[in-house]
Amino acid sequence: MPMATVNGISINYQVRGDAKRGTDSPRSAPLVLLVMGTGSPGRVWELYQVPALLAAGYRVCTFDNRGIAPSDECADGITQADMVADTAALIEFLDEGPVLIAGTSFGARIAQELALTRPELIRRAVLMGAHARVDAFQATLSAGERDLDELGIVLPPRYQSALTAALNMSPATMADQDTALEWLDLFEFSDHTLTPGLRAQRRMNYIFDRVEDYRAITVPCLSVAFADDRMIPPFLSREVAEIIPDAQYAEIPDAGHFGYLERPDAINELMIEFFRADESTAEQRPI
């Protein structure tokens, strides 16, 4: 992946579907920017979302947020404002605005903030696991993770695997023993190294309340909840759709916080349908 120097740091990114950047689709196709959540690299989108978007005729940009190497890890500290500014600067660096954008979890928060503060950069936003505030469970979990980091406690891989599955997967997925074992093995043997950048991301202040602020968003938004999401329960995502004027809401059944991996066909269909509505609107705009 190429590196871009934006907002004072280096960001690792890749654009797919652009002949000028080594792929086959014409540059005239709309660009979708995918924003990952805390602790995960942009390549996670490559499993399901990138192929679906390319097949639908879009170009796609994925990138590693600050804190995720080889992007700058910024071990001295990271704020939400930093990550929002990084994403805006990347869009400007690519000279692509306004773009279609989709984010999950903290990535959805970045997309929401961009829609509020830099609406000229965003055409439409799909917000997976959207939330305008945190509840008591989220606040306690984030504080507990910081406590583990500060104490230097590393959970055994097998226990970490079970905990990750319990917090992020749907009971419907885990009820199938073969599928459950596949996910548990994947989580157990994934790299759990707590890098300086990951530590910095987990030290961010996750307590926020933007309920009143998001009423000013004018960008068309689709808030997508995963019905079995323990990390960001559906009522928080539904609230976002109720706050943002004219926002749409959808809820995917039998999906947890990793719903974009558990039920990729469902989320991809919703996302592409919502983005295509922008093309229909564009055709109706006066020249």
CA 141 → CA 132, 151, 175, distances in Å? 17, 15, 25
Contact 62, 40 (CB under 8 A): no
Question: What is the Cβ-side half-sphere exposure of residue 272, based on CA atoms within 13 angstroms?
Answer: 19
Active site (annotated) includes residue 131: no
Buried b (16+ CB within 10 A) or exposed e, 147-179: eeeeeeeeeeeeeebbebbeebbbebbbeeeee
In sequence order, what are the beta bridge partners of 34?
Answer: 62, 102
229 noted as active-site residue: yes
Catalytic choice (40, 71, 105, 161): 105
Closest among 73, 55, 102 to 10, alpha carbons compared: 73
Q: Which is catalytic among the residues 40, 170, 228, 257?
A: 257
Active-site position among 40, 64, 229, 237: 229
Query: What are the b/e assignments for 239-277, b being 16+ CB within 10 Å?
Result: bbbebbeebebbbbebbbbbbbbbbbebbbebbbebbee
Q: Does residue 257 have an active-site annotation?
A: yes
Active site residues: 105, 229, 257
